[in-house]
Amino acid sequence: MKTKREDGNSVDREGDWKRQRVADYPSSPSEGPLVPYNDDDDDERRALSRVGGEGNGQRVETEEDEDDDDPYGQGSIAGWQNRQVEVRRDCPYLDTVNRQVLDFDFEKFCSVSLSNLNVYACLVCGKYYQGRGKKSHAYTHSLEAGHHVYINLRTEKVYCLPDGYEINDPSLDDIRYVLNPRFTREQVEQLDRNKQWSRALDGSDYLPGMVGLNNIQKTDFVNVTIQSLMRVTPLRNFFLIPENYQHCKSQLVQRFGELTRKIWHARNFKGQVSPHEFLQAVMKASKKRFRIGAQSEPVEFISWLLNTLHADLKTKKNSGSIIHKCFQGELEVVKETQNKAITEKKESSGEENGTRKTEDGVTEKDNNGAETYRMPFLMLGLDLPEPPLFKDVMEKNIIPQVPLFNILKKFDGETVTTTVRPPARMRYRVTKLPQYLIVHMRRFTKNNFFREKNPTLVNFPVKNLELKDYIPLPAPTKENEKLRSKYDLIANIVHDGKPDEGFYRVFVQRKSEELWYEMQDLHVSETLPQMVALSEAYMQIYEQQQ
């Protein structure tokens, strides 16, 4: 129904009424709002255009924003209103910002709605709230508590509520750096030369890269693994620059990168980091195989983590990754099985003795039932000798000791390792050494009743581990290339206590001063190199000398 106005133009009152009805009452619950309190920082709704200059230190930006009177927070069908967001360089509430309570290590969820969309952190009390429109939790908190300064956890923009203007003040940059640490490539290259300590807000000193990690609940197996991997320079440098993996949509990769940047950040507000977000990504990616509150072994965790990171990082164009570049070596395996088993295998596969290709490389069979093939590895498992069953004359258990070179003979190509299922005799020989060698001492064994721990001490060198003296290595493929078989220890994970009740700690080396530190969750202390070799080594990372 159209009516005439005094100026002669017609007005469609019926259409206006219908549009108003649709805006006020959604026709069905499914058409209602899916995400409440979206504001003008959403990428989908932003149409930013500058309409004014920066005269007198202020500028005005026009954005498409929600209708603040819309009870559903999704805007009315009548259209978006154009709002003007004023940008100021001064704010009377900046002195209320309390950096002591700010902690950006935890998941970015609103403390009221538990949503992770459009979350703001109150810079006065440190709590997270959603949105900043008039119906939002952050707006309500600003009125109830009198807290006025908020930062958007995604865009890093700071706003004053309930006034709604944006604050552009350089004094807030340190908060942005803590929220999202960033490094230039020049800074990354200088990290191993930095000898300068940093100071936290509480006055304590800490070394970037040598900060403690919170043990949330039986997560020491994660902490020692992370601290060890932080010593692997190419891996650390790769994850300090987010552009290297911006194509990757894996939450595990992104969270591992964030944790790496926080550990090496020199401007933290506190001298420790909580790996809470990383642990949540681990629980989701591992389908709760590794979870908070359940103890696991570091060797299982690092094996899963490296393989998952590699699978997430590799692309269709490039099947390799920084993981394989650092840790992948190659073994030649000779497997001898019983003749009966070989005969059955031949009959079922229809193959004669000869050479055939497998997924891992070339496999050869001879008439004696020996099968030879090559396989890549990220870690070498070392078997410890059995401890004595009986006590000595002093009624005390004898703790045996074994040199690392003795248990490395497993990979000399001659020592036979017997497997029970399936029954076979295995011989291993290293054909390619990785840049970073991970070795694992098999301390724990499971039987039908309980877990046992082998207390045998392993004697190993901290520097100059020369592998070619103990295991045969292939000659370099290139003429001018030198065989690099000498390694230095950079991380040593140890286990203390009983098999099911013990805990893990790690010794790591700081390259800038070649000092050793002992790290156990939040505890970080300098130690002597001689102390590193006196403990029950569980897993080690060696770096190849260049």
Over residues 204-262, the pLDDT tens digits come to 888 888 999 988 888 899 999 999 999 999 999 999 999 988 888 899 999 999 999 99
What count of other Cβ atoms lies within 10 Å of the Cβ of residue 56? 7
The full length of the chain comes to 546
Residue 222 CB-density burial (10 A; 0-12 exposed, 13-18 middle, 19+ buried):
buried
CA–centroid distance for 89 within its chain: 36
pTM of the complete model beyond 0.95: no
The enclosing domain of 274 has a CATH number of 3.90.70.10
Report yes or no on 422 lying in a domain.
yes
E strands present in 354-471: 355-357, 362-365, 370-377, 380-383, 401-403, 417-419, 424-432, 436-442, 444-446, 451-453, 457-459, 465-466
Highest mean pLDDT among 1-5, 49-53, 84-88: 84-88
Query: pLDDT confidence of 507, banded at 50, 70, 90?
Result: very high
Q: Which two tokens stand for residue 39?
A: 């504001």
The total number of structural domains that make up the chain: 3
User: 136, 158, 177 — which closes off a domain?
Assistant: 177
Lowest pLDDT segment from 310-319, 352-361, 387-396: 352-361
Number of H helices, E strands in the chain: 13, 32
Look at residue 468 in the predicted model and tell me its pLDDT. Answer: 85
DSSP state of 320: -
Report yes or no on 7 lying in a domain.
no
Look at residue 367 in the predicted model and tell me its pLDDT. Answer: 52
CB 221 within 8 A of CB 291: no
Tell me the chain's radius of gyration from C-alpha atoms.
Answer: 31
My answer on whether 293 and 403 are in the same domain is: no
Report yes or no on 14 lying in a domain.
no
> What is the residue type of 222?
V
My answer on whether 377 and 259 are in the same domain is: no
**Strand pairing class (81-88; 165-167):** parallel
Report yes or no on 23 lying in a domain.
no
What single string gives the DSSP state of each residue in 42-87? -GGG---EE-S--GGG-EEEEEEE--TT-TTSS--TT-PEEEEEEE
User: Can you name the residues that pair with 87 across neighbouring β-strands?
Assistant: 59, 166
User: 177, 194, 218 — which closes off a domain?
Assistant: 177
pLDDT, the chain, mean: 79
Pick 343 or 483 by higher pLDDT. Answer: 483
Average pLDDT over residues 510-533: 89
Please report where in the chains the tokens 């939790």 appear, as a residue.
137
What single string gives the DSSP state of each residue in 477-544? SSSSPPP--EEEEEEEEEEES-TTT-EEEEEEEETTTTEEEEEETTEEEEE-HHHHTTS-EEEEEEEE
Over residues 94-106, the pLDDT tens digits come to 999 999 999 888 8
My answer on whether 369 and 407 are in the same domain is: yes
Report yes or no on 461 lying in a domain.
yes
Task: Please give the angle made by the CA atoms of 352, 357 and 360, to the nearest 5 degrees.
Answer: 135
CB 92 within 8 A of CB 119: no
My answer on whether 409 and 522 are in the same domain is: yes
> What is the residue type of 435?
Q
Average pLDDT over residues 504-511: 92
CB 330 within 8 A of CB 432: yes
pLDDT > 70 fraction of the chain, expressed in percent and rounded: 76
Query: pLDDT confidence of 1, banded at 50, 70, 90?
Result: low
My answer on whether 252 and 127 are in the same domain is: no
Report yes or no on 515 lying in a domain.
yes
My answer on whether 388 and 496 are in the same domain is: yes
Q: Does 10 score more than 70 pLDDT?
A: no
My answer on whether 207 and 281 are in the same domain is: yes
My answer on whether 462 and 434 are in the same domain is: yes
My answer on whether 330 and 388 are in the same domain is: yes
CB 373 within 8 A of CB 385: no
Q: Which two tokens stand for residue 30?
A: 């499914």
**Strand pairing class (503-510; 515-520):** antiparallel
Report yes or no on 57 lying in a domain.
no
Look at residue 392 in the predicted model and tell me its pLDDT. Answer: 62
In Å, what is the CA distance from 409 to each residue of 275, 430, 435, 464, 488? Answer: 38, 11, 20, 18, 19
My answer on whether 327 and 268 are in the same domain is: no
Look at residue 341 in the predicted model and tell me its pLDDT. Answer: 44
**Strand pairing class (205-206; 81-88):** unpaired
Report yes or no on 277 lying in a domain.
yes
| Cα–Cα distance measured from residue 467 to residue 489, given in angstroms and rounded to the nearest whole number | 13
My answer on whether 187 and 302 are in the same domain is: yes
Parent domain of 158: 87-177
| Cα–Cα distance measured from residue 271 to residue 120, given in angstroms and rounded to the nearest whole number | 24
My answer on whether 391 and 528 are in the same domain is: yes
What count of other Cβ atoms lies within 10 Å of the Cβ of residue 99? 13
> What is the residue type of 481?
E
Contacts of 27 (CB under 8 A, 6+ apart): none
User: 150, 177, 204 — which closes off a domain?
Assistant: 177
Q: Does 90 score more than 70 pLDDT?
A: yes
Over residues 252-294, the pLDDT tens digits come to 999 999 999 999 998 889 888 999 999 999 999 999 899 888 8
Query: pLDDT confidence of 68, banded at 50, 70, 90?
Result: very low
